[in-house]
Amino acid sequence: MLILGSRLIGTPIMSLQTGAQLASIKAPVIDTSNLKIVGYEVEGPLLDIRPALLRIDDVRELSNVGMIIDSSDEFVGVDDVIDMGKMYKLNFKLIGLQVISESKQKLGRVSDYSLDTSSFVIQQLNVRHGIIKSFTDTELLIHRSQIVEINDSAIVVRSTAQNIKPVASPASNSAYLNPFRSSVPSSENRK
């Protein structure tokens, strides 16, 4: 199921062991190589570690109550999981990142994203135009297959517009001859 990423910010994290709320989601930790959310930075008064992270692999279920985990032992520090710590230290923020086409045309900024709840892979980017263009156009939805490159300053997407080649003019200026309208009748019609 696809949901907006902003909908998960502030979601409570519930313990299966105690049934109580342990923390809430503060921000996603995104792997920029494949646009997958590998975990979330969490906040709450019951946390022993600051900043505390929750790996997606430790989430049992995402329900209407919140994210359900086994216990508070699932929270890890930044240096506890090496790969996730590196991604956290990158401080990659998808919201607000500029989106440009391959031809360097500015398309807008990321206002939100849609993710698949079964894999936590970002599927679509919601891109909001600048102030002037927003009067005439609505938001853009960009699928992950259109993304060419992600760098520190922008997301480069494949342009869907194609350049149309001009129609070549005929080489000769002779008039088109219709074979069914010849001035001389064909031999099959003569008898």
* CA within 13 Å, CB half, 174: 5
pLDDT greater than 70 at residue 98: yes
CATH number belonging to domain 2-90: 3.90.50.10
pLDDT: which is higher, 133 or 53: 53
CA 85, CA 87: separation in Å to the nearest integer?
Answer: 5
CB 15 within 8 A of CB 1: no
Rounded average pLDDT over 146-169:
77
pLDDT (tens digit per residue) in 50-76? 899 999 999 999 999 999 999 989 999
**Range with the poorest average pLDDT among 14-23, 145-154, 155-164:** 155-164
Rounded average pLDDT over 78-93:
90
| 98-132: burial string, b at 16+ Cβ within 10 Å, e else | ebbbeeeeebbbbbbbbbeeeebebebbbbbbeee
Give CATH 2.30.30.240 domain extents, the chain. Answer: 98-157
Tokens 């994290």 correspond to 13
**98-157 is a CATH 2.30.30.240 domain:** yes
- pLDDT for 159: 78
Q: What is the pTM of this model?
A: 0.77
- pLDDT for 70: 92
CA 16, CA 45: separation in Å to the nearest integer?
Answer: 18
